[in-house]
């Protein structure tokens, strides 16, 4: 679902409401293992399905990273996530790599 990768994390599961709680908790747990004041990239290249809960999860990860002074970036977001962010007017808040 989420695994550690060089320089960050890689998500391999759909980012939909059914997985949101697990994604959130697993991502937050893995972010705790990242050094303070580091940079971490969350790679979404393998994510094939998203809904609006994906944005909530990403923003929660961003808050958790900020609490530890980690600079979080999102790599390879699916086009559907970018579209949802534009629809909700939060595109500029996505920390894209």
**CATH number of the domain where residue 14 is located:** 3.30.750.24
Model pLDDT, residue 46: 96
Write the pLDDT tens digit of every residue in 15-26.
999 999 999 999
Residue 26 makes CB contacts below 8 A (sequence gap 6+) with 1, 2
Q: Do residues 78 and 50 lie in contact, with contact meaning Cβ atoms separated by under 8 Å?
A: yes
Q: For a pLDDT cut of 70, what percent of the chain falls above it?
A: 100
Range of the domain at 19: 2-93
Mean pLDDT of 43-64: 97
The number of distinct structural domains making up the chain is 1
Q: 80 or 35: whose pLDDT is higher?
A: 80
Model pLDDT, residue 37: 87
Model pLDDT, residue 25: 96
Mean pLDDT of 50-71: 96
Count Cβ atoms within 10 A of the Cβ of residue 43 and give its class: 0-12 exposed, 13-18 middle, 19 or more buried: buried
Q: How far apart, in whole angstroms, are the C-alpha atoms of residue 3 and residue 51?
A: 21
């Amino acid at each position: 679902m989420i695994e550690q990768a060089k320089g960050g994390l890689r998500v391999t599961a759909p980012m939909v409401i059914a997985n949101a709680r697990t994604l959130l908790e697993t991502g937050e747990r893995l972010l705790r293992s990242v050094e303070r004041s580091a940079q971490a990239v969350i790679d979404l290249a393998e994510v094939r399905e998203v809904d609006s809960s994906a944005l909530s999860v990403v923003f929660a990860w961003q808050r958790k990273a900020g609490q530890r002074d980690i600079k979080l970036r999102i790599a390879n977001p699916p086009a559907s996530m970018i579209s949802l962010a534009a629809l909700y007017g939060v595109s500029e808040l996505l920390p894209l790599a």
